[in-house]
Amino acid sequence: IAMETYIRQRQLIMSPLITSHVIGENEPLTAVFNKVIAAKEVNHKGQGLWVSLKLLPGDLAQVQKDFSHLVDRSTAVARKMGFPEIILPGDVRNDIYVTLIQGEFDKGKKKTPKNVEVTMSVHDEDGNLQEKAIHPGAGYEGVSEYKSVVYYQVKQPCWYETVKVRL
């Protein structure tokens, strides 16, 4: 109980990401995090991304009531990936998660590698496009097509982008 009380009373502050010399445009986000963590002397001059986390006790309705200054009706709620141990009646989870990982593209006759963007869409067995079936993140409305980050002149791009497909 002491640890649970300690977690409730504390905020976890993460260090800023430094954009000046750490982030490379062709690197996955995990590589960027590793570089930030490994950097010994960083002069960020107040720029970066700051993330603050706080554990709020209770279910969604209780948290919205007790912490209305932090969580309101416009706050995006992300459900846990996968299924809970107990599935309640009426809890429909017809979701699959698709992760675009990486690709290898030959530059062909060009002198430099190609620019690469991947577009994902959902079709039924007859080839008809399923409207608004892809959800790129919590709080987003469904989209018919999802377009990945564009990599310019990279032979082996790595995306690691996950979307939810609601069936």
Pairing of strands 51-53, 95-102: unpaired
DSSP label at 89?
T
Can you give the pLDDT of all 167 residues of the chain as single tens digits?
A: 555 554 444 443 333 333 334 445 556 666 766 776 666 666 666 556 566 777 888 888 888 888 888 887 777 777 777 777 787 888 777 788 899 998 888 877 878 877 888 999 999 999 999 999 999 888 788 999 999 888 788 878 888 888 989 87
Per domain, the residue ranges of the chain are 81-166
Enter the pTM of the model. 0.57
What pLDDT score was predicted for residue 117?
A: 87
Neighbour-count burial for 103-114, b at 16+ CB within 10 Å, e otherwise:
eeeeeeeeeebe
Fold category of 81-166 in CATH:
Immunoglobulin-like (2.60.40)
Give the separation between CA 140 and CA 117, rounded to whole angstroms.
21
